[in-house]
Amino acid sequence: MSEIKLGNEFTEVVVEPVQTRNGVRLRISVPASGHEILLCPLELEALTWQDHDLFTQLLATPHGPEDDASTGPAPGARGDASTGPAPGARGDASTGPAPHPRGDVG
């Protein structure tokens, strides 16, 4: 399996499939910062449910949320026990998986 490098004047990312003990995941990494994430097929599919407004909100503070605690968590931030899971997050055993927005997928 080979990697794909994508870049522009702002950044470069490396995308590659990797085999894990839980199956194939897509690793997206940024060599300049050392950040990376492994995404399963369901997480990748969830990205396709989003519109460009979500990504615009995420990129409003690309290096993290502002220091002002009164603004609450950044868009897309993972919820804690008091706020619940982030939109599109997979449910745990007590809540079950999040419903599919199209309703036609089982």
Tokens representing 24 are 């194939």
Pairing mode of beta strands 12-20, 23-30: antiparallel
Query: CA-CA distance, 73 to 4, in Å (whole number)?
Result: 32
**What is the residue-averaged pLDDT of the chain?**
76
User: Does the reported pTM lie above 0.85?
Assistant: no
Predicted confidence (pLDDT) per residue in 38-48, tens digit: 999 999 999 99
* Residue 47, phi then psi, degrees to nearest 5: -60, -35
pLDDT beyond 90 at 17: yes
CA–centroid distance for 29 within its chain:
12
Which pLDDT band holds residue 58 (cuts at 50, 70, 90)? Answer: confident
3-state secondary structure of 46: helix
